[in-house]
Structure 1
Amino acid sequence: MFQKRSKPPPASPKLLHRDWRKIPTWEKDDYLQYIQDYQPEEKELEHLRILLHGPSNAGKSSFFNSVETSLRGRMTAQAIAGVGHESFTVKYQTHKIQKGKPGTFYPFVFNDIMGLEKDESKGICVDDIKLAMNGHVKDGYVFNSQSSFTSANQHYNNSPTLNDQTHVLVCVVSASTVSIMSDDLMKKMREVRLAARDLGIPQMAILTKIDEACPEVQSDLENVYRSKFVKNMIEKLSASLGIPLNCIFPVKNYHYEICREDEIEKLILMALKQMIDFGEDFVNNFDKSCRSA
């Protein structure tokens, strides 16, 4: 059921002698087939909605682009990603992924939002994330760091349906910044987590830029689950936000590459499968609770 390494680990004190997490034997094509076959059990649901949030420049847009690249079989850049310390995403937008011929899409979508900042006058307002989770924010809304979204805005959705609401909340954090995130920023992230908890929304975290933060992973991506550094960063993130360890996935986004790589996509698709499974469980439980109310 779990994958065994075909080669011994490199001789490095920064690597463990065995994987610290057991890896399924699935290959990339197995994940692709699972995702391609997925259809929501709830027939009235158009799509699962996955909301990406986290600090600015953590790789939220790049993660979506990496997912789309993995599923479409070519390099893509639907979500405009930037380089720098401030958030490049300023508008609320739903990203669909084409499946097969034009006009057909996978039954899940991603919402990428402005990043969180430690400074109160910068980044997205926490209340805006809460409203997005509840389905009150329509596509096209331009985030304002100085003031929260209100019902007076033309992009306010007064009557959100199950399709508008968030079904999975994914916190995206860079492996190179976990240890230096400020208390103010962590406080905002915990506030978002508690709001999602109160709504019953399942939560995950994605640890990005593992190759930039760990030389052993940069030299060989297969070292990700033997890296002491990656393991420590996941444990630190879990302790800081209260997200269970098995809900945190290390990934490498496409960054400087111009060709697709199986090892990158396997980590991406492994995380995506978990998002789909969590979202499906939430929708089914939500639907049952509504029918029994």
Structure 2
Amino acid sequence: MSIISSLDLETEQQLQKLFPYPIKLHLLFKASQHTPGSLFKKFDDVGQFVIVVHLASGAARGAYLSKPPKNGGSDKDAFLFDLTTTNATKISPQDNSESETVAFANSQLSFGKAFRLRVACALQTFIFVHFSSDEVFKTNWKEESYNDTTKERGLKDVEVLSLQVVGDVLPFPWREVSWTDRVREDLRESFVSHKVMSESLKSIRVLLLGPVGVGKSSFINSVRSVMYKHMTHMPSCGTCAPPGFKKLKSSSIRAERGGPATSLTLCDVMALGEDGATGLSVSDARAVIKGHVPEGYKFKPGTPLSSQSIGYRAEPGMKDKIHCALFLLDARKVTTYSDYLQKMMRRLQAEISDLDVPQIVLLTHVDQVCHAVQEDVKYVYTSRTVKDKMQKAADFMGMPLSFVLPVRNYASELSTNCNTDILLLSAVRSILQAVDDTLDDQCVCASSSAD
């Protein structure tokens, strides 16, 4: 006969709300039906699980662990909870706590001092449960103990349930990112203090390349919004549809409104076309990268830039050239782009490689392909769909997955968001690092040639 959990449907639904992704629960252990000594053996091959202590009052308390206790050490994702049929309260450990949040030894699993679950052996084996207030988990529980041999004291049952993630979200991220205010400020400060490795270069010029609607101008506005700490709205520079704005526009990113310029300049141009009749040509893109195109130059499809064009730089300096190329692709469309666009972008990628210019792929609109990421971008590296789209983008460009970075641009928001800021600043950090690595390699090569 199958054993059924004491969680009724309403209470289980309240428990599920504590998780930001869909989950299923499967009963592994029930103290009233299983031998108490087998409690912790049920954890050996389980990735994530929930412990629920059912009290005679009808309420329940419990804990979540993201890994088996036999692995030892703290579990930063663990949390405690209070549970009723109408409400669930999540109690996470304090971010600044230096104490061990979770410990397992001598058949006892402890969450700070707030919750202890132990298998004790005397004349008989029994389960011992202890609750108390705690500084690590900030519980306000009064100190009380229960065991399953004294049900009259208020303990109804103890259950262990495995937790299975369903839907799009993976149980663990495949790229590690810390989503905290401190990380956001560290990334911002590192960006502001960044110095270009070349003494002759004060600013890194980064060219954004991509088809219509991919979010080039939005990315520039979003990075500026991160630095200004409020939404900025600058005019769009690129569209293929006449009479669209088609000029080269360079935007220096400042540390704050009216503040000093950072080492990053983002350059926008006319969008790439999905056929041969519209959009930026390969020759014009190459001319921009090599520094021949003057600021404000208006591109004309079918009439590429030449040495006879007004403002043409015959001998561009290092400050005029492009030092990194960003290829932007839309996560919603990455599998439906035309063959022509793919061939053009791969041709550009090959020519840019020949110029020793680093390249990165930005995958935009990732929040539009995954509901969890739409709710909070901190799930971007646990989303199966986003990972698949990133791999599709890498395959489309013929580049490694490590070259692909997901971003969420600000679009409808009225204020900035910590996690969105972190994702954008992480992309900026990767851009700066790519240019630094290239400049360092060029310095090494120059030194070797001189020797």
What is the TM-score normalised by the length of structure 2?
0.60
CA distance in 2, matches of 1:14, 1:185: 29
Give yes or no for contact 1:140–1:155 (8 Å, CA) kept in 2. no
Match of 2:204 among 44, 48, 63: 48
**Who is 2:255 aligned against?**
99
Amino acid at match of 1:286: Q
| The one of 224, 227, 234 aligned to 1:71 | 227
> What displacement does 1:288 show?
4.7
Letter aligned with residue 284 of structure 2:
D
Residue matched to 1:15? 169
Residue 146 of structure 1: how far off its partner (Å): 2.1
CA distance in 2 between partners of 1:146 and 1:237 (Å): 28
CA 1:198–1:15 in structure 2 vs 1: closer, same or farther (change >3 Å)?
same
Gaps of at least 5 residues in structure 2 are 1-74, 80-89, 91-162
Secondary structure of 1:27 counterpart: helix
- Partner amino acid, structure 2, of 1:20: W
Q: Which has the higher helix share?
A: 1
Computed over aligned residues only, the root mean square deviation of the Cα atoms, in angstroms, reads 2.5
CA contact (8 A) 1:89 1:112 kept: no
- Look up the SS of the partner of 2:352 in the other structure: helix
Match for residue 60 of structure 1? 216
Do residues 179 (structure 1) and 335 (structure 2) align? yes
CA positional deviation for 1:24: 5.5
1:22, CA displacement in angstroms?
A: 2.5
Cα 1:215–1:101, aligned 2, differ >3 Å: closer, same or farther? closer
Aligned-residue sequence identity (percent) comes to: 28
Paired letter, 2:361: A
* 1:194 match: 350
- Taking the aligned partners of 1:101 and 1:251, their CA distance within structure 2 comes to 23
1:210 aligns with 2:366: yes
- Look up the SS of the partner of 2:335 in the other structure: helix
| 1:211–1:6 Cα change, 3 Å | farther
User: CA, structure 1 residues 10+205, in 2 after alignment: closer, same or farther (shift >3 Å)?
Assistant: farther
Deviation track 1:131-158 (CA, whole Å, cap 9, x = no partner) reads 1111111101111122211111113111
- How big is each residue's C-alpha offset from its partner over 1:256-288, in whole Å with a ceiling of 9 and x where there is no partner? 111111111110000000101111222333345
Counterpart amino acid of residue 183 in structure 2: E
Native 8 Å contact 1:64 1:79 kept in 2 = no
1:207 counterpart SS class: strand
More RCO (CA 8 Å, sep 6+): 1
User: Quick one: distance in 2 between partners of 1:116 and 1:193?
Assistant: 13
What is the one-letter code of the residue matched to 1:161?
A: G
Q: 1:101–1:267: structure 2 CA closer, same or farther, 3 Å change rule? A: closer
1:188 partner SS: helix
| Bigger radius of gyration among the two | 2
CA contact (8 A) 1:31 1:269 kept: yes
Q: Distance in 2 between matches of 1:182 and 1:20?
A: 30
Match of 1:131 among 287, 292, 307: 287
8 Å Cα contact 1:167/1:283 also seen in 2: no
Matches within 5 A, 1:1-293: 11-23=165-177, 27-80=183-236, 86=241, 89-100=245-256, 102=258, 104-290=260-446, 292=449
> Kindly tell me: are residues 222 and 89 of structure 1, through their superposed partners in 2, closer, same or farther at Cα, counting changes over 3 Å?
farther
In 2, the alpha carbon distance for the partners of 1:163 and 1:4 equals 46
State whether residues 15 and 226 of structure 1, in contact with CA within 8 Å, keep that contact through their aligned partners in structure 2: yes
Distance 1:231 1:101, change over 3 A: closer
Distance between the aligned counterparts of 1:119 and 1:262, measured in 2? 39
AA matched with 1:117: G
Report the CA distance between 1:162 and its aligned residue. 1.1
Q: 1:48 deviation in Å? A: 0.8
**Contact 2:204 2:265 (C-alpha < 8 Å) held by counterparts:** yes
Provide Cα deviations, 1:48-106, integer angstroms capped at 9, x if missing partner: 11111011110011001111111122211235268x88495411011112235737311
* Secondary structure in 1 matching 2:319: coil
